[in-house]
Amino acid sequence: MAGRKRKNPDDSPAGQAAAWLDDASGRMVAMQADLVRRNAVGPTNDGPGEQEKADFLAEFLEAEGLGPVQRLVDDRGDVPRPNLYVTLPGRDRTRTLWFMTHLDVVPPGDRNLWKSDPFVLRVEGDKLVGRGVEDNHQGMVASVFAALALRGLGLVPECDIGLLFVADEETGSTHGLRWLLERHRDLFRPEDAFVVPDAGNFDGSMIEVAEKSILWLRFRTVGKQVHASTPNQGINALVAASQLIVKLRDLYDRFDLRDPLFDPPISTFEATRREANVPNINTVPGEDVFFMDCRILPQTPPDAVLRTVREICSDVARNNRVVVSVEVVTREDAAPPTASDAPLVGQLARAVQRVYKVDARPRGIGGGTVASYLRRNGWPVAVWSRMDETAHQPNEYIWLPNMVGDAKVFSVLMIGEAAQAAHAPRVA
C-alpha cells in the first residue's frame, strides 16, 4: 500500500513527524495485519495467550531500531504471560511518559457474524477489519510508529518515552499490569505519567480522567410456591421482587449528587438481568432472582449505597412476608481521578487540537479501565483515542486516518511543547 499524501506539511519537529507518518501509513497497515494474524486470546478464554504476538513485536521493534526490548514474563501458569517494554531516552532523564497498550484480545465469538476470518486483516479502502484492530492494535501501532518517527527523523523526545505492552488486560490484568505493579514496581518512577490509548470516542474529543465505582448486585426473594389458583396459600416471590425493583429506584433520589465531568452526570442504579423462576404459567413462584448494575460517582461511597440497599430490602421483606438476600457479585471502587488540570491532560488536549482541530476535554466514564490500577498508585493517566468503539464486536474495525492521526498526536506529546516553537536537537 502506498503512503498517504502529506497534508499541510511544515518544518517544525511536529510537522516533520506528521509528514513521516503519512508516508508510513502503508507500513502501519502491514503491522496491523501481522498483529491480527497472531491469535492472542488469553488462556482464560481458551486461547493460546500472547507469546506469539509478543515474539513478533519484540523482533519488529528491534529490527526497526527500537531496542533492546525488555521482557517481564509471568510464568506462574501453564502458559507464559509476557509483558514487554522499550524506552527512548529524552532530554529530561528524570521521568518517563509511558504509552501502555495490551497484547491480548477477546475471542471472536460467533464466527457466522463475521464477514471474513477475524484473524485475517480485511482492508476496505481506509477501513481495517479484524479481531483486535481497535482493541488494542490501533493504540499499539500508533504509539510504536510515533516513536519510530522520532527515531527516523533524529528527534530527541522531551523526556524518556516508554512503550509498555502488557498481557491479560481483557481478563483482569492478574498477569499484566497488576503483576508488574506487584513484582516490578521499580520500573516506574513517581514523576512518570501514562497515556492509555484503549478507549475514546468518534472525534477524539474525550480525554478520560475518571471512572465511576462499579457495583453489581444479586437479589434473591424467597416466598412460598403454590398453585396459581390458590394464591392465598402462598407468598408470591415475583410480586415481592417486582416491588423491590420499584423501591430500588429510590436510590436515584437518595444519591442525587451530580458531577458534570461524567455523562450521565449522576450515579445510575439499573435493574438488569432476571433469572427464570417457574417453568409454567399456573404456578406462583416461591423464589425470584434479579440483578442490578450500579455505576456510582467517585464522591459517593459504595458502602453507603449498600447500606441503603439493605434497608430497602428489609422494608420490602417485612411488608411482603418474604426473605430477601442481596449479594455483591462485582465491586470495583473508583480510583482517585486524574486531575483535570494535570499537565498531561493539557498537553494531550493541545496535541489533539493541533492534529485533529478538535477541542478535547477531560471527562469521566461509567466503565472501568486498566488505568484505575495506575491511578490508585498516584500516577496521572489519560485514556484517549479517536475511534468508533467497535471493540469486542463482530467485524471490529478502525479507520486508517484515525490510526495515523493518533500517531501524530502521540508524536507531538513525545516531542514536547518546548520543541513546538523551535526545532528540537537532533540525535548525533
Instruction: Give the Cβ contact number of residue 227 at 10 Å.
Output: 11
Run of H or E including 208: strand 206-211
Phi, psi of 84 (to 5 degrees): -125, 155
Q: Are 6 and 25 in contact (CB under 8 A)?
A: no
Residues contacting residue 410 through CB under 8 Å, at least 6 positions apart: 99, 142, 143, 146, 195, 197, 351
Q: Are 97 and 410 in contact (CB under 8 A)?
A: no
Q: Are 324 and 221 in contact (CB under 8 A)?
A: yes
C-alpha cell belonging to residue 243: 416491588
> Is residue 169 annotated as part of the catalytic site, yes or no?
yes
Decide: helix, strand or coil at residue 4.
coil
Q: How far apart are CA 126 and CA 174, in angstroms?
A: 36
Q: How far apart are CA 32 and CA 37, in angstroms?
A: 9
Say whether the peptide bond before residue 136 is cis (omega within 30 degrees of 0).
yes
- 268 DSSP β-pair partners: 295
Using alpha carbons only, give the angle 47, 166, 354 rounded to the nearest 5 degrees.
125
CA-wise closest residue to 223 among 134, 155, 320? 320
Residues contacting residue 226 through CB under 8 Å, at least 6 positions apart: 233, 234, 283, 284, 286
Say whether the peptide bond before residue 298 is cis (omega within 30 degrees of 0).
no
Q: How far apart are CA 120 and CA 116, in angstroms?
A: 8
Of the residues 158, 169, 198, 259, only one is catalytic, namely 169
Q: How far apart are CA 228 and CA 175, in angstroms?
A: 52
C-alpha cell belonging to residue 32: 496491523
Chain mean position to CA 17: 27
Using alpha carbons only, give the angle 265, 217, 106 rounded to the nearest 5 degrees.
80
319, amino acid identity: N
Of the residues 104, 135, 160, 208, only one is catalytic, namely 104
Q: How far apart are CA 222 and CA 240, in angstroms?
A: 9
Q: Which residues are catalytic?
A: 104, 169
